[in-house]
Structure 1
Amino acid sequence: MALSSDQSSRFADLLKGHEDAIVAFWTDAVAASLRGRLSHAELHRQTSELQRGFQSAFGGGAQDVGDEAAAELRAQLSELSSARARQGFTATETAISVFTLKDAVLHVLDQGEGTDAAALREYVAFSAFVDRAGLFTFDSYARAREELIADQAEQLLELSTPVVKLWEGVVAVPLVGTLDSARAQVVMERLLETLVETGSPYAIIDITGVPAVDTQVAQHILKTVVAARLMGADCIISGIRPQIAQTIVALGIEFGDIATKSSLADALRHVLRLTGDKVAQKPLRREG
């Protein structure tokens, strides 16, 4: 049941004429549902802004939350949803913050001269409007949470694929966890970017922290090695444990002429030999 333009106007007058009473009741109702997890002052500010948003929407003749006259209200609801999502509130708690406006308006109506059939019909229409506003808030909350989760996943993906410069001419990529297509793409991009920035001719890809190597993981590693070779860098794969070696043989995966080592230490020694670096062979100086 949609509001008529006359009903919207009357509810705008109702919200304006009883602003303090509605905001006070609404704030207390929301505070009870959130169990003290937001300050009363902050909730009062939020409900005051929303009250003015609803009043503006009704004053502009909005009959539905999707109307142009309710654009400012939708922006406020979206902002509320995003804030509550970041603060860790649930979608239900967020929607209740909107739905309780109906209780506040009903409270004001009960304090009036009486409730007739026309007033009840108007309240039902108003209630439906608020329900749709609550559902819009719920939907906005869900989108905000999905965006937040996606951003966090992307940040974790970047943090889990570091490319470390060991010394001049040598970089390393220590991989930990499952290597899927998305992560493999990030590994390849970060490695190639680092090779370009440092001009390193050698890269160590350490898979000690990769729990299992299947055909897909092996293909990702091989593609990364080939891409690095196109950039003029040779790759050494370290962390080939006995179990992984057996799996690779059983799957018939061929690494060809790619250097493989059982540990990161072996890979480092191999690179030292290739570069002719004698750092590892210098004895420690004894003082005194």
Structure 2
Amino acid sequence: MNIDVAPLKIIKDQIEAFTTSLIATLPNILAALVFLLLVWLANRLIGSVYSRVLARTHMRSSLKAALESLVSVLVWTIGILIAATIAMPDLTPTKLLAGLGLGSIAVGLAFKDIFENFLAGILILLREPMRIGDYIEVEGITGEVKKITLRDTYLRQVDGDLILLPNSMLYKNAVSVHTDWERRRVTIIVGIAYGEDVAEGRRVMEAALKGLDTVDQQRPIEVFAQAFNSSSIDFEVTWWTGSKPVEIRRSKDKVVEAVKSALDEAGIEIPFPYRTLTFKEPLSLKGSNDNDYERGEDGGSSSD
């Protein structure tokens, strides 16, 4: 029986060629590994120096962490490229840059949203449109800013829920920063009866807000007659208080209590809707003796 040894010889030659090539390139590979070790040490050293430099600045902690990460990524990228040329001398920098360019396009298309959020996070951290602890509103979502990362912004809503918003959403849409100022203007509507004196009602409401600790007494307290409502003359009562949601709620609570007490004390009526009914057909009512009574007039209107 004859055995064809030609395929075996080809496999043997390929293994020998691979082994010879590996042994030839082994010093280069070891040199590349040693270089990567040096890159690791350099990255640690540069990161330590960079952290000390940033510690002397007034940058927010999230921005410092982002810049430190960018520097680390840059150091490792350059180090890996140099290590690749050391391990494979035939791999020139031109070929590396060309491959890196094609690879970056493919990665950019695959991770478009991630890079979009990353760049938006960098711009948000650099521009500082909001701070940790601010209450913001975007696209109907309101909450306290707890953390800003390179990809997400963490919002804690007043009911305790934690919401993670992509940074691109904050960068592309209008954002209301409710606590950008320490003070915020608040308005409630108060109505008095038509039979009351408008000027006296205005004076009583203004006096009720003076002296309240939740009302900023350094800013104007404004009371304006606003509209003729169905059962009352409505006043717009406006004042300034703290900008946090709990401060606004607490201030509204005390203002409503103070205005109600002041109007009651002054004898000024806060009306509730009055309704008068007239019936088009006579209405039959049965009394306790089952006697029928008729009540009503022809008509057909009801008013509040």
Structure ranking higher in strand proportion: 2
Q: Is the structural similarity TM-score above 0.5?
A: no
TM-score, scaled relative to structure 1: 0.31
Rg: which structure is higher?
2
Which structure has the highest helix share of the two?
1
Per chain length, whose mean CA-contact separation is higher, i.e. which structure has more relative contact order (CA < 8 Å, sep 6+)?
A: 1
Q: TM-score, normalised by structure 2?
A: 0.29
